[in-house]
Amino acid sequence: MQGCAYVDGRYVAPEDAKISIFDWGFLHSDATYDVAHVWQGRFFRLDDHLDRFEASLAALRLDPGVDRATMRAVMHECVRRAGLRDAYVEVLCTRGRPAPGSRDPRSCSNRFMAFAIPFVWIATPERQREGIDLVVGSRRRIPADSVDPRVKNYHWLDFVMGLYEAYDRGAETVVLLDGDGRVTEGPGFNVFAVYADGARPRVVSADAGVLEGVSRRTAIELARDAGCDVQLRALPLDEFRRADEIFLTSTGGGVIPVATLDGVPVGGRPRGVFGPVSQRLQQGYWALHDDPRHVEPVRY
């Protein structure tokens, strides 16, 4: 596999990046991570990703043992050694192994790691041109007061089971509801609904129970700049089904239009035809990759 990883202070091939089976990151999913991407040789919004990673570390009381400058340098070096121009770059920190016989997390030695691999798409550009098929899963999202989704984590069993449900129903991916039947998020993406029933388009996305994605933030900024009425609030399922447009946001693809929801064409449009807001935000997202305010050249 093309790429490079950083483990235990060494740069290694991806297949040689290993952790102990006794690491609580493996045994208990006791870890946090963040994913930035490199496009055409430049990191996109790297400081925003590092801000969120440091906030997640603090929330989980994890100490990676390295400072921010070192994290940034390691991410650059992983990309450089891998020779990638378009890359998926992850930093992570696990709780580590506890002292022998102990269940006290304070006895663990936390571990910082990173890797860079070729860019990972949630939906390929070809699939995005057609639009993806989304279903509403029957499984409820893990409650935010149990596992805070603002802290990027690997607690994905609700998503994984939701994905199997989507596959069984002939779709590609799933969005989950909270305990009150409101739209939250999907595996690796935020969800937006667009309504064209007023003086200006309304763009709605959940304000709670979701990861505050960097791509989500980018779409919100672009929508506001375009004059849309951006509303971050609870989004009930019945309202979601009436959307004129639906799109997803993710580091793995940017702004991704949805063609069908539970098998029904969104906005009554034929496959491959999307609403003006989704199209504009998708184009604007990739245009920002040439904006020096948001990019950082890789130190090749």
Task: List the domain boundaries for the chain.
Answer: 4-118, 125-289
pLDDT for res 233: 98
> For residues 226 and 134, what is the distance between their CA atoms, to the nearest angstrom?
26
Please compute the mean of the pLDDT values over residues 278-299 and round it to a whole number.
97
Please compute the mean of the pLDDT values over residues 151-159 and round it to a whole number.
96
Range list of H helices, the chain: 24-27, 46-60, 68-82, 125-130, 157-168, 214-225, 237-241, 276-287
pLDDT for res 186: 98
| The pair of three-digit structure tokens given for residue 294, joined into one six-digit string | 């948001």
Domain with residues 125-289, CATH architecture: Alpha-Beta Barrel (3.20)
List pLDDT tens digits, range 168-190. 999 999 999 999 999 999 999 99
pTM of the model: 0.95
Decide if pLDDT at 273 tops 90: yes
Angle at 230 between CA 149 and CA 175, to 5 degrees: 40
pLDDT for res 199: 86
pLDDT for res 197: 86
User: In residues, how long is the chain?
Assistant: 300
Please compute the mean of the pLDDT values over residues 221-244 and round it to a whole number.
98
DSSP secondary-structure letter at 257? Answer: E
Tell me if residue 235 falls in helix, strand or coil: coil
- Percent of the chain at pLDDT > 90 equals 97
Q: What CATH number labels 4-118?
A: 3.30.470.10
| The pair of three-digit structure tokens given for residue 298, joined into one six-digit string | 């890789």
pLDDT for res 154: 95
Query: Is residue 105 within a helix (H) or strand (E), and if so which, with residue range?
Result: none
Average pLDDT, the chain: 97
pLDDT for res 164: 98
Closest CA to 112 of 34, 213, 52, 36: 34
pLDDT for res 198: 81
Decide if pLDDT at 158 tops 90: yes
List pLDDT tens digits, range 7-29. 999 999 999 999 999 999 999 99
Is-contact 172 166, C-beta < 8 A? yes
| C-alpha neighbours within 13 Å on the C-beta side of residue 246 | 31
Cα distance from N-terminal residue to C-terminal residue, the chain: 20
pLDDT for res 1: 86
Closest CA to 190 of 118, 254, 244: 254
> For residues 110 and 64, what is the distance between their CA atoms, to the nearest angstrom?
6
- Percent of the chain at pLDDT > 70 equals 100
Please compute the mean of the pLDDT values over residues 44-70 and round it to a whole number.
98
DSSP string, 121-139: -SS-HHHHHH-EEEEEEEE
Backbone angles phi, psi at 285, to 5 degrees: -60, -50
Decide if pLDDT at 44 tops 90: yes
